[in-house]
């Protein structure tokens, strides 16, 4: 009987994880990356949902390990999530995110999952991990200011300096090349640790590691900047839209690498105990993200693209570049981050660069969104603690 019960809990936990992956794909990772591009009329809502699903799946498999380990093993000390605890945490977080999907308000998935796991862990008798909380909280607080500030600065340069516009775009392309050269991919590393293209290629060169890394980074910067320079010289407007779509794709890839951990992280201790490799978990979580993006994301894409700001290509580019950089920083350090927070903050910053008027940002909607973020964190923590503690008390 005990074995049958354990198998039952395992299956329920797996279904809960897939449900959470679906909600993430339909919500934050599926809707936010291409929302600025849809707002700029560079791609349709349905096309965006299709492409973001594929790129999110790839990001989940290639970059999802760090955040998964943080969610599953670094939020609570002195306790390991049981299958029942992981199931409750995932169901609570997924349910709260689903409410956001069907009401049109972007609930922060990272807030709900982090709060649920911490609440469950404390109810199990675990200890708070304050250094990790400080790391996570600092990034959550800084994201609106850094993302919004960078988006504002980039948008102002693109909007107010027409003569500099092409030069600014080429410079931004070179910066994107530098980031791409140094982000980590699981396939380039060994075991559960990834490695960057710059380290991999640079380390194989007959020069010092530092010089090789620098050479690969500069090489990618030149390639991206050169391709963009040739494009703006022949057709600047078309190049802007291509650049915008490429950035949307990079953000979608980064979303998969960050958000899949919110779905499979709580299962990680249990799966490692029974010998399931992390790659298999990432693959399964990526499938869930893909399904969510294809079936549920269009509604949220429309909400974010049209309700928050009416963006053109320039302000959309300004919103996506800091989003990509912040997302990859979170992936590198294993910090669960809300893509709704990243994208919405960047949209606010780029929208503010245009001044007031019909293209401005809805302050009313933003206020309710921030309130939803806070309530999702507090609500998931309190609910998960109360439900698990209450269930444990009744059963004992």
DSSP assignments along 202-246, one per residue: HHHSSS-HHHHHHHHHHHHHHHHHHHHHHHHHHHHHHHHHHHHHH
pLDDT of residue 132: 94
Q: Write out the residue range of the structural domain in which residue 301 sits.
A: 2-395
pLDDT of residue 1: 41
Q: Closest Cα partner for 229 from 293, 299, 298, 174?
A: 174
pLDDT of residue 356: 44
Give the C-alpha distances (Å, rounded to integers) separating 172 from 149, 181, 241.
16, 14, 14
Q: How far is CA 273 from the centre of its chain?
A: 27
pLDDT of residue 82: 84
What φ, ψ does residue 335 adopt, rounded to 5°?
-110, 120
Could you give the angle at which helices 2-26 and 209-264 cross, rounded to 10 degrees?
110
Run means of pLDDT, 10 residues per run, the chain, 396 residues: 60 84 76 71 80 91 91 90 86 80 72 93 92 94 92 86 80 93 82 79 83 91 93 86 88 90 90 84 92 80 61 81 92 88 83 60 71 85 90 69
> Residues, the chain, total?
396
pLDDT of residue 139: 94
CB atoms within 10 A of CB 272: 16
pLDDT of residue 185: 86
pLDDT of residue 359: 46
CA–CA gap between residue 284 and residue 175 (Å, rounded)? 33
What φ, ψ does residue 188 adopt, rounded to 5°?
-95, -5
Q: How far is CA 274 from the centre of its chain?
A: 28
Q: Closest Cα partner for 286 from 17, 57, 127, 15?
A: 57
The total number of structural domains that make up the chain:
1
Asked whether 81 and 123 are in contact (CB, 8 A), the reply is: no
Burial class from Cβ neighbours inside 10 Å (0-12, 13-18, 19+) for residue 341 reads buried
End-to-end CA, the chain: 18
pLDDT of residue 30: 64
State the DSSP code for 355: -
pLDDT of residue 70: 92
pLDDT of residue 216: 92
Residues 285-312 have pLDDT tens digits of 999 999 988 887 777 777 666 654 466 7
77 membership: H or E segment, kind and range? strand 76-77
């Amino acid at each position: 009987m005990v074995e049958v019960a354990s198998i039952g809990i395992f299956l329920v936990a797996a279904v809960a994880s897939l449900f959470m992956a679906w909600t993430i794909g339909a919500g934050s990772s599926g809707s936010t990356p291409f929302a600025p591009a849809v707002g700029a009329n560079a791609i349709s809502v349905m096309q965006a949902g299709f492409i973001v699903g594929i790129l999110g799946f790839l990001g989940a498999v290639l970059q999802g390990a760090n955040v998964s380990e943080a969610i599953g093993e670094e939020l609570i000390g002195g306790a390991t999530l049981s299958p029942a605890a992981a199931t409750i945490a995932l169901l609570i977080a997924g349910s709260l995110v689903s409410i956001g999907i069907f009401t049109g308000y972007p609930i922060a998935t990272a807030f709900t999952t982090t709060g649920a796991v911490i609440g469950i862990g404390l109810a199990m008798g675990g200890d708070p991990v304050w250094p990790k909380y400080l790391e996570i909280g600092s990034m959550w607080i800084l994201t609106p200011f850094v993302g919004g500030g960078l988006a504002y600065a980039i948008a102002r340069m693109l909007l107010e300096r027409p003569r500099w516009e092409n030069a600014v775009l080429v410079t931004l392309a070179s910066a994107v090349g530098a980031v791409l050269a140094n982000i980590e991919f699981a396939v380039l590393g060994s075991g559960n640790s990834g490695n960057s293209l710059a380290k991999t290629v640079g380390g194989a060169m007959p020069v010092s590691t530092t010089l090789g890394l620098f050479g690969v980074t500069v090489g990618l910067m030149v390639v991206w900047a050169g391709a963009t320079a040739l494009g703006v010289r022949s057709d600047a407007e078309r190049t802007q839209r291509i650049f915008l779509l490429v950035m949307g794709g990079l953000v979608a890839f980064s979303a998969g690498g960050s958000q899949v951990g919110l779905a499979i992280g709580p299962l990680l201790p249990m799966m490692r105990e029974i010998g399931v490799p992390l790659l298999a978990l990432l693959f399964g979580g990526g499938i869930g993200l893909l399904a969510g993006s294809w079936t549920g994301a269009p509604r949220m894409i429309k909400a974010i693209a049209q309700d928050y700001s009416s963006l053109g290509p320039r302000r959309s580019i300004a919103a996506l570049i800091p989003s990509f950089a912040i997302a990859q920083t979170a992936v590198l350090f294993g910090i669960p981050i809300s893509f709704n927070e990243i994208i919405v903050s960047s949209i606010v910053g780029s929208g503010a660069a245009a001044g007031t008027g019909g293209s401005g940002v809805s302050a009313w909607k933003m206020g309710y969104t921030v309130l939803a973020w806070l309530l999702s964190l507090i609500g998931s923590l309190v609910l998960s603690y109360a439900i698990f503690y209450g269930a444990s008390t009744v059963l004992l």
